[in-house]
Amino acid sequence: MRKVDTDIREKIEKYTLNKQQRAELTELLELCHKRLEVTDDELVTRAFKLCCQSHNGVVRASGEPYYQHPLEVAKIMADDFNIDDESVVAALLHDTVEDTTVTLDLVEELFNPVVRQLIDGVTKITGVFETRDTKQAETFMKLILSMAEDVRVMLIKFADRLHNMRTISHMPHQKQLKKATETMELYAPLAHRFGLFKIKNEFEDLCFKVIDPNSFKFIVRKLKKKKEARESFIKQFMEPVENVLREQNFSFEIKGRPKHIYSIFRKMQMQQKPFEEIYDLFAIRIILEDPHTKEDCWRVYSVITDWYTPIPKRFRDFISVPKANGYQSLHTTVITKQGKKVEVQIRTRKMDDIAEHGLAAHWKYKEGNSDGSTELDKFVHWVRDVLDSPRPEAATEFVKDFQLNLYQDEIYIFTPTGELKTLPKGASCIDFAFEIHSEIGERAVAAKVNGKMVPLRQKLKIGDQVEIITGNKINLNADWMGDVVTHKAKSRLRQFIKQKERKVADEGREIWQKKASKGKVEVSDQELTKIAKRFKFENAQELFHEIGVGAFNVNDLFKIVKELKSKGRLESPDQEIEEPSEEEIQENYRISARSVGEGKALLVEGELTGVKYSYANCCNPIPGDDVIGFISRNGDVKVHRSNCKNAHHLIRTDSERVIDVNWAKNIDTQFLGAVRVIGEDRVGLVNDLTEVLAKSLKTNMKSINVSSEGGMFEGILTIHVSDLKHLEKIIQKLERVDSIKNVTRYE
């Protein structure tokens, strides 16, 4: 061993932990011994000391010592994922290489090559892509590439992000929104794809709490009110079933948990129903202990359906045909004698472990277990398959494509030889062709579904048997982009479209050059770019493409170029029609930021002079809504609701121009709001609704749009309101109108 190694080891061993740190180390080691098969105490202790030493004197936004963050990440690795002690060590040191003087070489000397590899995978590496706006995508790409080598990298990153989200309240509001949006759009769906449902659910709830705090608090309050009634119902529902299972010597555990908060909100949104009308607010889970098998799950299902009536359309057999992430369970929805619907899930303990911890459970079961290894291999194969696909030029496009396949429900399709293929719901024959092989997708000319010829665009259903007919030449069609959902198909089509556009642009450039040469006009590429921007093109290439397809007359371009050249205006372009430069954009940003004041939020409604602002039409914010501001190119501020999809896009792509916005205390202005009213149609209903608004609430209505079908009434009422409380009061009043079933804010 080299002397430098000895010195470092001795320095770490002699490092003195304070009383709190000694207690924390003891707690971590006890957790490791409880949850891991093998724990090297010396290895974990050395990592903890190096962690404390490296981050000594550094504090987090919450004011707590920084070392407590990697410590909490290590606890999540041990308790939630319970993989091995090397991943716990890597979690303790995951920030050291990026934030301190500790190097990867030193990590390898003090620990081992595996720990080095894990930390290297988690460490963020910039400079992967050239453009500035792909910073987030760079990190994500690095994460995916590392995960293909060792899936534990992904788990450490999940644990890191989970603790950051748990402590997000200490961050400035703008940064909270950025972090929550990124987590909701990337990490939550990725956790879903890898079967980490427990982590995915917590991600979504923590993000939802930041993005839409009012809705979050509303659902939490409703769940608390119904807790006792829910627990009583579950006990009553399961009592006869439990008695039978015990008589038949089943060993089992019963869980009756409410669905996580964000999933309830999504159901309310998709079904356009109030909280009280969502029947599946919770699910009853029956977990069979070892050595029960999947055959026993069917026996339990039989007991359930002996007591309660099953709904056939709500039955799902994920045991015979597991999901792509390895999820296995029987799902059924039954009806009690009182007419109440109840969702029941039946699975073994191993199935439950995989359902909760997905990727982590597969890793744990892989040793000495061929099934676990096979499922783990499927995960890694899927990642590598995505990475081997034609990749978009921009990292952000890659992330968008990658995200497409994360959340979607799955369908199961058969090849002509009976091989099972898993595709996202909504996949077409084109997606299936690319799933078989990229060359099959490129040369596909027709398809047979269940023995019948169908168009390639046709959407597939569960159980379809598909045969792809190919030709000798590449047969890609740019119009297919709207008919495919998989990353592989979209990525190849995008590549094909760009190649086609380049070819057309080259033809357009050639047409222009001939015209310019004949007319004896010389113009540089820089001057052509200026001219292109005058016509609202991003660059000269887009202008040439329009010429190539015949959408822009080359003679018109020639006249304009000749005129501008003769007047010398290309050298001194007209500022009123010239696109603003990046420097001007940045200067506008700085001016607006100075006007707002460092560390202060912009107060809406005339509380701050010198800054123009307006409200986004996409989400129509009203006082009381959680809002953010976005600085436009001319320095004005556009106010969005923080749960607006466009706001999420701005936070993700241009976060430097997002600022905090607070409402002033007293605002004497009316705002536009809208409500959706659903109920049973009857004579005089519209009159009753307008009368409530005009007389009882003294609310002015801008417009009303109503429709009636099958005895049901639906109306969109656009109204003038003073704030969120006013809107909520309107909703409460309208709900009391006779025959009205549901009133919600209309987005």
Q: 41-54 vs 3-14: helix axis angle to the nearest 10?
A: 80
Taking the C-alpha atoms of residue 697 and residue 693, their distance in angstroms, rounded to an integer, is 5
> Quick one: pLDDT at residue 680?
80
Taking the C-alpha atoms of residue 129 and residue 579, their distance in angstroms, rounded to an integer, is 26
> Quick one: pLDDT at residue 3?
46
Residue among 130, 131, 138, 140 at smallest CA distance from 161: 140
Q: In what order do the strands lie in the sheet with 671-680?
A: 701-709, 712-721, 671-680, 740-745
Task: Read off the pLDDT of residues 300-330 as tens digits, 9 standing for 90 and up.
Answer: 999 999 999 999 888 989 898 887 667 889 9
What is the 3-state composition of the chain as percent helix, strand, coil, each rounded to the nearest 5?
A: 55, 15, 30
What are the φ/ψ torsions at residue 344 (nearest 5 degrees)? Answer: -125, 135
Instruction: Determine contact, residues 283/258, Cβ cutoff 8 Å.
Output: no
Positions in the chain whose pLDDT score sits under 50: 1-4, 124-135, 368, 370-373, 390-392, 407, 573-600, 606-607, 609
Taking the C-alpha atoms of residue 48 and residue 32, their distance in angstroms, rounded to an integer, is 13
What are the φ/ψ torsions at residue 673 (nearest 5 degrees)? Answer: -135, 170
305-308 own/partner pairs: CB under 8 Å, 24+ apart: 305/332, 305/334, 306/244, 307/240, 307/241, 307/244, 308/334, 308/335, 308/336, 308/342
3-state SS of 673-719?
EEEEEEEECCCCHHHHHHHHHHHHCCCCEEEEEEEEECCEEEEEEEE
Taking the C-alpha atoms of residue 101 and residue 33, their distance in angstroms, rounded to an integer, is 31
Taking the C-alpha atoms of residue 732 and residue 675, their distance in angstroms, rounded to an integer, is 11
Residue among 441, 444, 405 at smallest CA distance from 425: 405
Residue among 607, 655, 606, 648 at smallest CA distance from 626: 648
Taking the C-alpha atoms of residue 190 and residue 188, their distance in angstroms, rounded to an integer, is 5
Distances (CA, A) of 686 to 274, 413, 479, 496, 689: 21, 49, 45, 53, 5
Taking the C-alpha atoms of residue 699 and residue 684, their distance in angstroms, rounded to an integer, is 19
> Quick one: pLDDT at residue 230?
83
Instruction: Determine contact, residues 55/95, Cβ cutoff 8 Å.
Output: yes
Is 180 exposed, middle or buried (CB count within 10 Å of its CB: 0-12, 13-18, 19+)?
buried
> Quick one: pLDDT at residue 19?
93
Taking the C-alpha atoms of residue 384 and residue 564, their distance in angstroms, rounded to an integer, is 53
- Tell me the DSSP string of 531-563: HHHHTT-SSHHHHHHHHHTTSS-HHHHHHHHHH
Distances (CA, A) of 50 to 30, 119, 328, 387, 520: 19, 14, 41, 35, 72
Taking the C-alpha atoms of residue 453 and residue 84, their distance in angstroms, rounded to an integer, is 52
- Name the active-site residue from 27, 98, 538, 691: 98
- Name the active-site residue from 99, 239, 571, 738: 99
Q: Is 538 a catalytic residue?
A: no
Q: Is 98 a catalytic residue?
A: yes
Secondary structure tally for the chain: helices H, strands E: 30, 20
Is 734 exposed, middle or buried (CB count within 10 Å of its CB: 0-12, 13-18, 19+)?
buried
